[in-house]
Amino acid sequence: MKDNILVIGGTGKTGRRVVTSLRALGHHVRIGSRSQTPAFNWDDPSTYAPVLEGMDKAYVVYSPDLAVPGAKDAIRALVRESRKAKLKKVVLLSGKGEREAEACEKIVADSGLPYTLVRASWFNQNFSESFLLEPVLAGHVALPMPDAAIPFVDADDIAEVVVKALLNDTLDGQTLEVTGPEKITFATVVREIARATDREITYQAISLEEYGRALRNARLPDDYVWLLEYLFREVLGNDENQTVSPDFERLTGKQPTSFREYARRVAQTGVWSPKIVSPV
């Protein structure tokens, strides 16, 4: 049976991949985001009901992060509207090791709706589709937490698990943790990208304070700086968060994508090749 599935955040890193897979399987997908019609905006609860109308299931990606103030109210309101819309399933993307996100997970788990929680570790794609692309292009990556060993996960793997969760009710009520196959440091990440691109890229270990100062000097908004500092300190600062999970292999029978494989694939697309602007 083909479902009507709402993908909130369907233009983002995991959402876009989930949309592509569901459409390839013949499901009817509606993207929920500010740039769609009807527009969906987390900051405006009056936009929730129109995108839920006629939907059977939803994949929920909260932006910018379930840890920010306001996330709980938004998730509570979305759950309320989802019950009214009689959704048959909600899959929530959460962050592995984010204590603040657990309150939002609980709202979904206590909603009375069938649900699956997907907790992901830090994404590989932060280096190619997000805030860490720019330093890679500049050839100099200065980041705190040099000792943190992180099981970076590929957004393709997260999407594969999300699609399974949306389509299999045997996964109802479960919390799935998706990570990569191994724990690596930022120094290794940068070495792998340099190797894959055949470029010279350096890693510089800095303190969290220096990182925060650099972000503020770049005139990034205070709430964005707060969030990045929180994610580095709380998520990467606690080694207990950084365990490799067996869930991807258990569900798919495959090994998760390694960072080396991701780097090889992305390098071929040219995303990491600095653009050379020729003088006029």
Letters for 12-31 (x = contact with ligand NAP by CB under 6 A, - = none) are xx-x----------------
Torsion sign (Cα): 189, 192, 198, 200: positive
- Alpha carbon 28 to its chain centroid, in Å, reads 23
Nearer to ligand NAP, 48 or 272 (CB): 48
Contact between 115 and ligand NAP by CB under 6 A: the answer reads: no
Residues in the chain: 280
d(C-alpha 209, C-alpha 215), whole Å: 10
Minimum separation from the CB atom of position 175 to ligand NAP (A): 14
Contact between 97 and ligand NAP by CB under 6 A: the answer reads: no
Q: Please identify which residue in the block is written with the tokens 């500092």.
A: 229
Phi and psi at residue 141, to the nearest 5°:
-115, 110
Beta bridge partners of 94: 119
Minimum separation from the CB atom of position 280 to ligand NAP (A): 33
Q: Pick the binder of ligand NAP from 6, 22, 66, 162 (CB under 6 A).
A: 66
Q: Please identify which residue in the block is written with the tokens 């603040």.
A: 100
Letters for 122-141 (x = contact with ligand NAP by CB under 6 A, - = none) are xx--x---x-----------
How many residues bind ligand NAP (CB under 6 A)? The answer is 25
Contact between 33 and ligand NAP by CB under 6 A: the answer reads: yes
Contact between 120 and ligand NAP by CB under 6 A: the answer reads: yes
Residue type, 180: G
Q: Pick the binder of ligand NAP from 4, 11, 202, 243 (CB under 6 A).
A: 11
Helices (H) and strands (E) in the chain, counts: 11, 8
Nearer to ligand NAP, 42 or 211 (CB): 42
d(C-alpha 275, C-alpha 85), whole Å: 47
β 57-60/4-8 pair status? parallel
Contact between 145 and ligand NAP by CB under 6 A: the answer reads: no
**Residue ranges binding ligand NAP (CB under 6 A):** 9-13, 15, 33-35, 40-43, 61-63, 65-66, 93, 95, 120, 122-123, 126, 130
